[in-house]
Structure 1
Amino acid sequence: MSTGKGKKRMKNQPVLYEGIKKKRNPLITDYAWHGMQEKAIKAGLSASEYLERLIRKDLDAE
């Protein structure tokens, strides 16, 4: 999947997905948060995008 680099970002216009992202507040432990941050950095992604891809991958597998 493209990272959207080089695409002009416009407010309220989706770039990578069919919908725009909204601020959410999942409650997770510090252990899970730090682990997610480490994996996201290794993948070259933000924690938000890492979580988005992880969940979408799981949903697509169903």
Structure 2
Amino acid sequence: MEPGIGKKRTRDQPVFYDEKKQKYTITLTPKTWKKLQALAVDTGVSASEFIERTIRAIDSDDSEI
């Protein structure tokens, strides 16, 4: 079962992870943005969630940076 499925969404409460997401800004070329969007669609998640999962997979022990 996917984490967070069946869990009630409450404002300011994390669903998938143990901490709430914050807004950050990154700058990408249009070609990279389109590729990121395509990868996210293929995976069935948002671009933000795709980046989150990719970084967490690289740091699989999920230790603090």
**Matched residue, 1:50:** 50
- Partners of 1:3 and 1:39 lie apart in 2 by 20
Instruction: Answer yes or no: is 1:12 the counterpart of 2:50.
Output: no
- Structure 1 residues 45 and 3: CA distance shift in structure 2, 3 A: farther
Cross-structure match for 1:39? 39
1:35 positional shift: 0.3
Q: Deviations over 1:33-62 (max 9, x none)?
A: 11010011011111110010011111227x
Flag the 1:32–1:41 CA change in 2: closer, same or farther, 3 A: same
- Gapped runs of 5+ residues in structure 2? none
TM-score where L is the length of structure 2? 0.80
Greater helix fraction, Structure 1 or Structure 2: 1
More RCO (CA 8 Å, sep 6+): 1
Identity %: 41
Aligned residues: 61
